[in-house]
Structure 1
Amino acid sequence: MFTEGPTVADMSSSPVTESVAAHPGGTRRAVVAWGLWDWGSAAFNAVVTTFVFTVYLTGERFGPSGEVEAQLGWALAAAGVLVAILAPVTGQRSDTSGRRKLWLAVNTYVVVALTAAMAFVAPDPSFLWLGLFLVAAGNVFFEFAGVNYNAMLSQVSTPRSIGRVSGFGWGMGYLGGIVLLLIVYLGFIQGLFGIPDVDGWPVRLAMLASAAWFGIFALPVLFAVPEYRGAGLRREKVGFFASYARLGRDIARLWRESRHTVWFLLASAVFRDGLAGVFTFGGVIAASVFGFSPGDVILFAIAANVVAGISTIAVGALDDRLGPKPVIVTALIGLLVSGMLVFLLHDGGQIVFWTAGLALCLFVGPAQSASRTFLARIIPPGREGEVFGLYATTGRAVSFLAPTLFAVFISIFGAPYFGILGIMVVLAAGLLLLLPVRARQDVLT
């Protein structure tokens, strides 16, 4: 069904891997600095968008239940459209300008500033639109930062280490989320720091702490990894709108000369949306189907990050050894088996979710990390920002799949646990789209 991943010998002569090997940033110091950005980014991923600020923003003090959730959804949908339109061109322009690290810094610290500004969102309906704007704008600039951050993977790794380095970064993100969630939950939410629970101050001050967390841990990569000076600089600089014409020509060329790269972008967009659905709706399933309390959900979230972080770091070595495609396929199969166990044994009590749910988390991180290395191994030199911009765009383009099917299955069958099947359908579709994609691909020059 699928070919074996490229060996080191297979990769050593390709233009891509020659470019990877040529970068001077692939030192232990640079790798740790690069991974610390992921560690710090948990401030936005875990605290702002998943477990704390969006939960606060959709609370009853901001408006009627159902209405505020819908408004949050529309705000994030608008952010997704902007990312889909702008990410490939901003990535392309950072490649050609030789200012990849500069734009990583600019976008990162815009996110830091927006996160800090969330401290002004008081628990009153009049502040809802401010909160929605800050979350949506933060998502846009976080995605832009992620394009440049992912593009730096080839600068801090070699052909022999790219899988381990990518896994290390993802794992650091999960582990950073654990530490920060514990600080926020115990210190701010549970009152260990003595903050009075009035006017939303525990959450609002937690946003300041989260902004500081991201700002501090984003600094090392800006000092330890040199600015990109590569093949992309040989491309003529063009205006902003002319960049779209160039992008169209590049995609057409990519389709002609490296068609499997385009197919991988499509397949990964689908299964990455399923992976996002596992974490997005995991807490909902835990509470509504298995009777978890809010405290139990947070404890499970912390345990899930531990499991995902450790497995992602550990499996990175297999990525280098076997190639990324076998890792992704195995992870998706593991997710489907674990998810079906959660569905079929839904009446078995909390022990089912603690075991099968954590088993799901074993496979999420490796699939995410190997997806990034699959693409990083085949990108033409100097085109990393542009192609990772397409990676962000394709992911956003289908980001409605998991939420839609989750809701559709619940609506049809009338029980929350049927939403699990919706997520499983998305993961299965992504797996089927991935299987024909060749692991060793033609390289576009």
Structure 2
Amino acid sequence: MATVSKKRIWGWMAFDWAAQPFYTLGLTFVFGPYFATVAAQYFIGTGLDEEAAKAHATGTWSAAQTIAGLVIAFTAPFLGAFADNSGRKIPWIAFFSVLFVIASTSTWMLTPDANALYLVLVLFFVAFIAAESALNFINAILPSLGSKDEVGRISGSGAAFGYWGGVVALALMLLLFVEQDNGRTIFLGLEPPFGLNPDEKEGTRFAGPFIAIWYAVFMIPFFLWVRDDPKAGGKSTQFRAVAGDLWQTLKSVKERKSLLNFLIGSMFYRDALNALYAFGGVYAALVLNWGITKIGVFGVVAAIAAAITTWLAGLADRRFGPKPVIRVSVWFLILVSITIVGMSREQLFWVPLAADSTLPDTIFYICGAVIGGAGGAVYSASRSMMVRHTHPDRPAEAFGLFALSGKATAFLAPAGITLFTWMTGNTQLGFLPVIFLFLCGLVLLWWVNPEGDRDEWST
């Protein structure tokens, strides 16, 4: 294929750098645990005991994630087919970027007394929908950036670049904004700047505006250096024509056994991974009783591990292909999930721990590094594997199907966590369905062709 300019590749990678703080600060390490803590206190105020309130807070968060995932799942394939027919992806990315910037600022409204609790929850997951929808179009550009053997390295480098963005953003939030119990920030021991009131947790609540500003600034290189292919598209964008093309693609999937098994298998393991991301901070807050600051340090450890490991995974992908990278990474994530189920502040796999034991803290820091590293490798290698199953003329539609497979059953892990948590009244045991989903994904990977079926489909 024609040589792709380095500016275009760097512009494409800018999205990962710009968007990652939403997942690092918002979904996992700052806002997610803050929401869990505020929601739990709110539910205690309604008359629930402490454990029931924590379980209800976890269930509320998971229900919102489930609904957001379903919205993404059932819009992504059609939007992708529409973009392929028109040949235009950049306007969609711009639209979802504007929506993301507006909605992600909503965390500011959630005060410690739970004011606007449900409104903020809705707006936060609107931002999540916007980020994931934009990502589908970003991923659809990946096949045009290099050969089949090169996209694994490019995907890994882009994901690693994004995780470094998450590290920098999280470090800035911890150093300058997130308050400890004494009202001052970790390490520097400063009061939050700009007159932010630590008593109202305004430093922590600034995570949303910070995410929005960061994204708006660092997406500039993308919009400067990445353009739609003027030769792409040219097909009808009438609803009937787009739906017809999409329907033909959907019917063809059942004949493509490698693609079918990859889509279903990745559906399971990506759903489980997203659950680890979304509930890791919640687990730390509700089971290990960690504060926002400690969770933030945990996030830095996880993000650094992700940045380094994902870059290495990209090199491994280039040499061995994406399938071995995915399989090894999923096994590590299964080990982490088993540890989460078996560990609490009081015991480790039925072995009682001293009240002042720091062993759970140490183990969970290690778990965080593994989640970050293995999760980043799975993310990078999975989109590389999808490229190997993507028709060169229909990349947005293909990654729309990839999003569908990742989100259509997005309710499985959150709903499973919700069900097991409410049934057992135990946040740890709520993670049992995650292990099952990882195992299902591994089994289905067995029938995935390591080289994909793109060349076969193109003939």
Which residue is 2:356 aligned to?
none
SS in 1 for 2:410: coil
Which residue is 1:32 aligned to?
10
Which of 20, 39, 43 in structure 2 is aligned with 1:64? 43
1:438 aligns with 2:449: yes
Q: TM-score, normalised by structure 2?
A: 0.82
Which residue is 2:315 aligned to?
317
Separation (CA, whole Å) in 2 of partners of 1:206 and 1:262: 39
Whether the 8 Å contact between 1:31 and 1:157 is mirrored in structure 2 is no
Per-residue deviation, 1:312: 0.4
SS in 2 for 1:31: helix
1:128 aligns with 2:139: no
Which residue is 2:184 aligned to?
none
Per-residue deviation, 1:175: 1.7
Q: Go from structure 1 to structure 2 and tell me whether the alpha carbon gap of 1:131 and 1:288 turns closer, same or farther (over 3 Å shift).
A: closer
1:343-362 aligned at under 5 Å gives the runs 345-346=348-349, 347=351, 349-350=359-360, 351-362=362-373
Which residue is 1:186 aligned to?
175
Whether the 8 Å contact between 2:81 and 2:396 is mirrored in structure 1 is yes
Per-residue deviation, 1:118: 4.7
Per-residue deviation, 1:69: 5.5
Root-mean-square deviation (CA), in Å? 2.8
Per-residue deviation, 1:251: 0.9
Whether the 8 Å contact between 1:277 and 1:402 is mirrored in structure 2 is yes
Q: Report the AA paired with residue 226 of structure 1.
A: R
Separation (CA, whole Å) in 1 of partners of 2:141 and 2:381: 16
Which ranges in structure 1 are unaligned for 5 or more consecutive residues? 1-20
Aligned residues: 420
Which residue is 1:115 aligned to?
104
Per-residue deviation, 1:363: 1.7
Q: Go from structure 1 to structure 2 and tell me whether the alpha carbon gap of 1:138 and 1:293 turns closer, same or farther (over 3 Å shift).
A: closer
Whether the 8 Å contact between 1:101 and 1:228 is mirrored in structure 2 is no
Q: Go from structure 1 to structure 2 and tell me whether the alpha carbon gap of 1:293 and 1:201 turns closer, same or farther (over 3 Å shift).
A: closer
Q: Go from structure 1 to structure 2 and tell me whether the alpha carbon gap of 1:305 and 1:92 turns closer, same or farther (over 3 Å shift).
A: same
Q: Report the AA paired with residue 303 of structure 1.
A: V
Q: Go from structure 1 to structure 2 and tell me whether the alpha carbon gap of 1:341 and 1:68 turns closer, same or farther (over 3 Å shift).
A: closer
Per-residue deviation, 1:316: 0.4
Q: Give % identity.
A: 28
Moved more, 386-395 or 399-408: 399-408
Q: Go from structure 1 to structure 2 and tell me whether the alpha carbon gap of 1:289 and 1:132 turns closer, same or farther (over 3 Å shift).
A: closer
Whether the 8 Å contact between 2:388 and 2:451 is mirrored in structure 1 is no
Whether the 8 Å contact between 2:30 and 2:292 is mirrored in structure 1 is no
1:44 aligns with 2:22: yes
The C-alpha deviation readout for 1:13-52, integer Å capped at 9, x for no partner, is: xxxxxxxx23x5x333322222221111023222233333
1:1-400 aligned at under 5 Å gives the runs 21-22=1-2, 24=3, 26-58=4-36, 59-60=38-39, 63-65=42-44, 66=53, 70-116=59-105, 118-119=107-108, 127-190=116-179, 191-193=191-193, 194-230=195-231, 232-234=232-234, 236-240=235-239, 242-256=241-255, 258-287=256-285, 292-340=290-338, 345-346=348-349, 347=351, 349-350=359-360, 351-400=362-411
The C-alpha deviation readout for 1:133-167, integer Å capped at 9, x for no partner, is: 31132122222101111111123333342111111
Whether the 8 Å contact between 1:273 and 1:399 is mirrored in structure 2 is yes
Which of 414, 424, 432 in structure 2 is aligned with 1:403? 414
Q: Go from structure 1 to structure 2 and tell me whether the alpha carbon gap of 1:125 and 1:364 turns closer, same or farther (over 3 Å shift).
A: closer
Per-residue deviation, 1:260: 1.7
Separation (CA, whole Å) in 1 of partners of 2:117 and 2:289: 30
SS in 2 for 1:64: helix
Q: Go from structure 1 to structure 2 and tell me whether the alpha carbon gap of 1:54 and 1:262 turns closer, same or farther (over 3 Å shift).
A: same
Which ranges in structure 2 are unaligned for 5 or more consecutive residues? 45-52, 180-190, 343-347, 354-358
Q: TM-score, normalised by structure 1?
A: 0.84
Separation (CA, whole Å) in 1 of partners of 2:178 and 2:5: 39
Whether the 8 Å contact between 2:142 and 2:151 is mirrored in structure 1 is yes
Whether the 8 Å contact between 2:33 and 2:281 is mirrored in structure 1 is no
Q: Report the AA paired with residue 164 of structure 2.
A: L
The C-alpha deviation readout for 1:370-420, integer Å capped at 9, x for no partner, is: 010000122001211111111111111222222344455556777544444
Separation (CA, whole Å) in 2 of partners of 1:309 and 1:219: 22
Separation (CA, whole Å) in 1 of partners of 2:42 and 2:25: 21
Whether the 8 Å contact between 2:80 and 2:397 is mirrored in structure 1 is yes
